[in-house]
Structure 1
Amino acid sequence: MHLLIVIGTRPNFIKVTRFRKVMDAIPGAKLTLVHTGQHYDKAMSQVFFDQFDLRPDHVLKLHPGSAGLQFAHMIAQLVEVMEKAEPDFVLVPGDVNSTLAGALAAQRLGIPLGHLEAGLRSFDRSMPEEINRILVDQLSAHHFVTEDSGMTHLKDEGLDQGGNVHFVGNTMIDTLVHFSPQIDQSPILSDLGLGAGEDFHLLTMHRPATVDNREGCQFIVDLLQNLCASAPVVFPIHPRTQKNLESFGLADVLEHPGLKRTPPMDYFAFQHLISTAKTVVTDSGGIQEETTYRHVPCITLRPNTERPSTTTLGTNQMLTELNVADVMHAIDNPKEGVVPPLWDGHATERIVDVIRNL
């Protein structure tokens, strides 16, 4: 069995950390890991590869032109890699451009394709990720599903054809479980001057819909001022967010004495912060799942979520409007939750078992 996995962004690195270990335990099995270069700088890629020992077999060259040219060039390079590698199966995780490029390349060559995180839907087609999810599911021969909503959506869309939809659990949780010792040993709290057991809020904001306009940036300013009044705030600031705060003349808030601003950080440090935070406020997708697994209250500032199990079962509260009073009310009234089915650290093994028995 020869499995080829296409990755390209930091969230998707986290979803495939256990495949090499699982594949190495199977006689005759081979794994080829291809990094498209979509997140190509050291902070976004290499530090994660070092922590997870991912060792990509191929790293593509990112085209210097427009986004369209980059995408086309990515597909062309993936076709070339797949032709030479001759895998038995291609697996693409998530919903980014690398996911769709890998799916199109595999489809072009007639290689059986599987989608990890299949069936997730936000029903917001203004999001590029939603278009990618829909297209990749249409191209895939096998669908690896993380939560109940994915099973429902694939059935509703006519993609459940008997034996091709597999409820396997969440490979991001596999990474959390396996690397728990390293996460627990992270010195990030002392590095930030926070005491053990000290309350703090963790904030992440990076989505263009939030940070690419003055209204969204002003909301971040107002939110930070209110959060800092109740407890210290750790803010690993995305370069896009910092750039926009500066361009709108709102960056002074980053000097607030209650704010602990950091650049994007490594996985172990960030997960330690999630596990010890009083509350996480975010516009991210994956963080909704990580907080649910950790039983940490999460407030997600988005009009929708493609991960509804985090709200129906988990600790996630969705706030569709950028309203500071609503955020503070949610912090004062945290949601308790349970871990969704099969989020147990063994999703990778289930996926590999399905593929090897095809």
Structure 2
Amino acid sequence: MGSKKVILTVLGARPQFVKAAAVSRQLQAFGIPEIIVHTGQHFDQNMSDVFFSEMSIPAPAYNLNINSLNHGAMTGRMLEQVEEVILKEKPLAVMVYGDTNSTLAGALAAVKLHVRVIHVEAGLRSFNMAMPEEVNRILTDRISSLLFCPTDAAVANLKAEGFDGFKAQIVKCGDVMQDAAYFYLDKAKRESKILNELKLSNDFVLATIHRQENTDDPSNLKNIIDGLNRINRETRVVVPLHPRTRKILEQMGISPEFTVINPVGYFDMLMLISNCKLVMTDSGGLQKEAFFFGKHCITLREQTEWVELVEHGFNRLAGPNADTIYHAYSEMINKKSNFDIDLYGNGKASQNIAEQLKLWL
């Protein structure tokens, strides 16, 4: 099909919009037209017009409103509707981010119409195929023409999988999350009131639990809560917790001793990360954001995609084990490290992507 010199960006989750905002700013600066499609995967009433204006994010041209379905049904519906948008807009390439169902659906819809796929955050591996995200990222990488890798480890993963022999270009660009975190911090300082509301200084532990492998496994969840309760007796622990997880805890008869708050927006989260003493999380993104702001991190999983953080001693894998979690806390809470090392591009990843796309298109 005859293509227009435009990039169609497919997004579905709130963090993807934050990352894409950093890249979109650079695409505009380099004169590269972009059309944004929101699949609706993460249905979030906070993602209103206010969200887009406050975050300086271009509003999506299309909102497909596909959510609250099982993995197969959701991916299939997205594939069908993204295909319709591609046929209508005739983009030169489709750009996707990360490892959600929206990522895979956007990539599949494009490649089946012989439209090139650009994958931002390519090459990441947890080596745990039980994670839906791992399946999504592996399949998306394999059908992409341009692979933007955030780290050396991501590049090495692709090479180990034989990508040098595929018709694909691999580019190490850095991590766009770092660009976004640095860009939004000043605005967060001006607009967030969460530190005052919770009466927090900088002597607290920030923890999050959201992965299904932890929230849907009673043993894992109980172990994590026990570990955090024990830590809270020494250092205040603050946990933004999804209502669904709160309900599971109530059903299990588990009462957290630490401070539980409702999920927070990006600005509030930036203030919590940049002011805490230590981060504990099962989130991939938060592991990196801890590093961006010079904080050590304990990962409540058995593996991480961000192996360089573990290798350099900024991150410690604890898994869902109460004793291991507490011992990791004891080791990391007062640890001193030099965070002045360029692991993720020092905030220039989006510019690197735009420069490469200008040449590629």
Q: Same fold (TM over 0.5)?
A: yes
- For residues 50 and 229 of structure 1, the distance between their equivalents in structure 2, rounded to whole angstroms, comes to 41
2:199 aligns with one of 193, 209, 231: 193
Distance 1:65-1:308 versus aligned 2 partners, 3 A rule? closer
- For residues 128 and 218 of structure 2, the distance between their equivalents in structure 1, rounded to whole angstroms, comes to 23
User: 2:337 — aligned with what?
Assistant: 336
Pairs within 5 Å for 1:1-358:
1-27=5-31, 29-43=32-46, 48-54=51-57, 55-62=59-66, 66-161=70-165, 164-185=169-190, 186-195=192-201, 198-250=202-254, 252-253=255-256, 256=257, 259-313=258-312, 315-324=314-323, 325-332=326-333, 334=335, 336-338=337-339, 339-358=341-360
- For residues 64 and 187 of structure 1, the distance between their equivalents in structure 2, rounded to whole angstroms, comes to 32
- For residues 269 and 63 of structure 1, the distance between their equivalents in structure 2, rounded to whole angstroms, comes to 25
- For residues 194 and 267 of structure 1, the distance between their equivalents in structure 2, rounded to whole angstroms, comes to 18
Distance 1:314-1:100 versus aligned 2 partners, 3 A rule? farther
Unmatched 5+ stretches in structure 2: none
Q: Which moved more, 1:141-150 or 1:175-184?
A: 175-184
SS of 2:91's equivalent? coil
Q: For each residue in 1:246-297, what CA deviation from the matched residue of structure 2 results, as whole angstroms up to 9, or x when unmatched?
A: 22121x32xx3xx332111110110110011011111110111111111101
Offset at residue 332 of structure 1 (A) = 4.1
Q: Is 2:38–2:64's contact at 8 Å kept on the other side of the alignment?
A: yes
Q: Which moved more, 1:317-326 or 1:273-282?
A: 317-326
TM-score (norm 2): 0.91
- For residues 314 and 37 of structure 1, the distance between their equivalents in structure 2, rounded to whole angstroms, comes to 37
Q: Is 1:43–1:264's contact at 8 Å kept on the other side of the alignment?
A: no
Number of equivalenced pairs: 350
Q: Which moved more, 1:211-220 or 1:62-71?
A: 62-71
Q: Give the AA of the match of 1:123.
A: F
Q: Aligned Cα RMSD in Å?
A: 2.0
Offset at residue 314 of structure 1 (A) = 5.9
Offset at residue 19 of structure 1 (A) = 2.7
- For residues 239 and 44 of structure 1, the distance between their equivalents in structure 2, rounded to whole angstroms, comes to 18
TM-score (norm 1): 0.91
Q: Is 2:75–2:104's contact at 8 Å kept on the other side of the alignment?
A: no
Unmatched 5+ stretches in structure 1: none
- For residues 334 and 318 of structure 1, the distance between their equivalents in structure 2, rounded to whole angstroms, comes to 15
Offset at residue 227 of structure 1 (A) = 2.0
Identical counterparts, % of pairs: 36
Q: For each residue in 1:72-117, what CA deviation from the matched residue of structure 2 results, as whole angstroms up to 9, or x when unmatched?
A: 1111000011111111111111011111001001101111111111
